[in-house]
Amino acid sequence: MLSNDGKLVEEVLEHIAEIGAGKCSITDAAIAAERDASVQQILAGLLMLHEDLQYAQQRQSALLDELRLAVRVRDEFLSVASHELRTPLTTLGLQIDGLSHTLPGLVSGPQTEKVARRLELTRRQIDRLAALVATLVDVSRITSGKLQLTKEHADLVDVVRTVADRLGDDAQRSGSSLSIDASGPVWGDFDVSRVDQVLTNLVANAIRYGRGQPIAIGVDGKNASARLCVQDHGIGIAPQHQGRIFQQFERAAPSTNYGGLGLGLWISAQLVDAMGGTISVRSEVDVGSTFTVELPRAS
Ligand code: ADP
C-alpha cells in the first residue's frame, strides 16, 4: 500500500528499476487491492509497461533467431551453389580447349580463323565466369570461417612472374605495359596460391583502372617481412574512398564506366589479414594508385 507522495515516488522508482532488469513484482491482485485510484492507475501502467517490454524482447529474440537462420541458409546456398557451378565450368573449359586443339583438323580454309576467334572469345567468357564463381567460393569460405592456409617455402619473385605472365595479354589488350621491379629473390614461407590471388586481383584492378598507362609490380624483402607493390598511373581514388574500398561491396569508380562487384579488395584484405600481413593504398585522383602488401616471411 502506498501512503504518501514521497513513498509513492520511491516505490515507483523501485518498480521502474525492477522493470529495467526484466522483472516486475506488481500483480493483478495488488492492483485490485489498492484503494487509491491514481496509485492503482500508476501500478497498472507499470505492469503494462513491463508486459510490453517482455513481449518486445521475446519478439526481438525470435527475429534474431530468424535472421541467424536466414544467414545460415544463405551461406549454405552460396557454398553449395558456388561449388556445384565449378564442375560444369571446368568441363566446359576443357571442352573448348580440346576443340581449339583439334580445330585445324576439323575445319580448313578461312573458316579456321573465324572459328578459332569464336572459341577464344568463348574461352575468355568461361574464364570470367570461373573467376566470378571463385569469388563466390571465397566469400563463402571467408564468411563461414573456413579459410585454410597452406604455406610452403617459396620465392615471391616467382609468384610475381607467374601473375605477370598470366595477365600479360589482358594488360596488352588495355594498352598497359607490365614491368617487374625486383632486385633479387625474396624467399619465405607463403601460401603461394593466396598470394597469387591477391596479386592477381591488384594487377587486374591496375589494368582495369589504369587507363592504358604502364603498370609496375615491385617485390622486395626486409629481414622479417616481404613487400609487394602494384603501381598504376590511372584514374586514382579520392581520399574519402580510400578506406572504404577494402570493405564488402564498396566501389569508388562510376559503375556506368566500370563493372565489378566490389568484392576483390575485400577478399584480398581478408586473405592478407589471414596471412598475418597488411594491405594499404596510396592514391591520387588522375595521377594513379599504389597498393602495397606486407607479408611476414616466416610462419
Ligand atoms: P571491383 O573492382 O570489382 O569494383 P574491388 O574490391 O577490387 O572491386 O575494388 C573496389 C573499388 O576500388 C573499385 O570499384 C574501384 O573504385 C577502386 N579501385 C580498386 N583498385 C583501383 C585502382 N588500381 N585504381 C583506381 N581505383 C581502384
212 lines ligand 1 (CB under 6 A): no
Say what the pLDDT of residue 1 is. Answer: 45
Q: 265 C-alpha to center of ligand 1: Å?
A: 7
Q: Using 50, 70 and 90 to split pLDDT, how confident is the model at 15?
A: very high
Tell whether the model's pLDDT for residue 91 goes beyond 90: yes
Q: 201 C-alpha to center of ligand 1: Å?
A: 9
Measured in residues, the chain has a length of 299
- Report the atom number in ligand 1 closest to the C-alpha of 262: 8
Pairing of strands 152-155, 187-190: antiparallel
Mutate which of 199, 211, 251, 270 for ligand 1 pocket (most atoms within 8 A of beta carbon): 251
Burial of 203 (0-12, 13-18, 19+ CB in 10 A): buried
Tell whether the model's pLDDT for residue 253 goes beyond 90: no
Q: Using 50, 70 and 90 to split pLDDT, how confident is the model at 69?
A: very high
Q: What percent of the chain has pLDDT over 70?
A: 98
Give the count of beta carbons closer than 10 Å to the beta carbon of residue 272. Answer: 21
Average pLDDT, the chain: 91
d(CA 264, CA 249): 9
264 lines ligand 1 (CB under 6 A): yes
Of the ranges 59-63, 155-159, 257-261, which one carries the lowest mean pLDDT score?
257-261
Collapsing DSSP to helix, strand or coil, 130 comes out as: helix
d(CA 103, CA 86): 25
- Report the atom number in ligand 1 closest to the C-alpha of 250: 10
Say what the pLDDT of residue 77 is. Answer: 87
d(CA 37, CA 50): 20
